[in-house]
Amino acid sequence: MRIRTVLTTALLLLGAAASPAVADASPSASPSDDSAAPTSAGTSFRNATEIEQGQQATANASTGDYLYWSFPADAGQRPTVKATVKLPSSARSGTQTWQLDVYDGLRRRQACQYGMQTRTAAQDATSVDLACTLRTVRAWSEPWANDPLPGTYYIRLTVVSLGTGDLGKPVNAEVRVDSKEIGGAAAVDGSLSQPLVPGIALTTQESSDEDKPTLSSLKPDDGWTSGWWSDRWVWTGIGAVLAALAGIGGYALTRGSGRPSRVPPGV
């Protein structure tokens, strides 16, 4: 009976501790209201249009324009950027090659873990789809490394190869960013003092004046994480509890009834 009680307690504790860890591994927050999504794009890093994760932003532009958007990404997230370019219905002189690039807050180009970030549209194609899944954003990294870090990320969409006669023709672009929460599997020991958000230093300085504007105002719904908490702590706690319960169960099995198996004669 005692062993059964120990095992039941262990299973209950395991389920209670694992619940938040399983929740952390689910996809990111619910998408934002698309009715408030931006309908234009910037033309450089400095005036990139801000979008939230889960929004589908649109923009009307001309073939050959550089289109820029920015979005926030926090530690533990693996962002996926998708873009669709709707090409003009009028006849084109040849194929077109479009490219999707993603840069971090330091304007370092980030490699795509997978996805087609460069694709060529046939002469009669009506649209072209692009995608880029980044590596998991880390809370901290070595200064010499090119790892994704928490902060603002920039999307650049443009055509890189086309016929001269197609330059300037109207196109419509759609961009969306979603993230998957990776959790403790990507956790590291350390965190940035501030996320890589352009202009964030202006708001952290103590001043009696009005709040100073930043170059990027978006941030995750739950705020920027400090980087020290992850579901690794949950699984570490589970291991400690199971080890303690195993010790108790082993002791209960081996201690016996407390009396010697054979009693000497005359006792």
Could you tell me if 10 and 241 are in contact, meaning their C-beta atoms sit under 8 angstroms apart?
yes
Of 131, 264, 2, nearest to 10 by C-alpha is: 2
Q: Give the pLDDT confidence score for residue 34 in this predicted structure.
A: 61
Backbone angles phi, psi at 216, to 5 degrees: -145, 125
Ranking 93-102, 184-193, 205-214 by mean pLDDT, the lowest is 205-214
Mean pLDDT on 43-49 = 94
Average pLDDT over residues 62-86: 95
* Radius of gyration of the chain measured on its C-alpha atoms: 27
pLDDT at 128 over 90: yes
Lowest mean pLDDT among 152-161, 204-213, 232-241, 246-255: 204-213
Q: Which of 6-15, 98-107, 205-214, 233-242 has the lowest mean pLDDT?
A: 205-214
Mean pLDDT, residues 23-41: 63
Q: Do residues 163 and 92 lie in contact, with contact meaning Cβ atoms separated by under 8 Å?
A: yes
| Unique residue bearing structure tokens 């230093």 | 201
Q: What is the pLDDT of residue 125?
A: 93
CB-based contacts of 5: which residues, under 8 Å, 6+ apart? Answer: none
CATH topology classification for 26-230: Jelly Rolls (2.60.120)
Q: Does 12 score more than 70 pLDDT? A: no
- Whole-prediction pTM value? 0.72
Written as six digits, the tokens of 230 are 């992850």
Predicted local confidence at residue 117, as pLDDT: 96
Average pLDDT, the chain: 78
Using the predicted structure, report yes or no on whether residue 80 has a pLDDT greater than 60: yes
Strands (E), 14-111: 49-50, 56-62, 67-73, 77-86, 96-103
How much is the pLDDT for 112? Answer: 95
d(CA 171, CA 89): 9
Which has more confidence, 62 or 247? Answer: 62
| % pLDDT > 70, the chain | 67
Q: Which burial class, exposed, middle or buried, applies to 228 when counting CB atoms under 10 A from its CB (0-12, 13-18, 19+)?
A: exposed
pLDDT at 190: 63
> Are the beta carbons of 132 and 100 closer than 8 angstroms?
yes
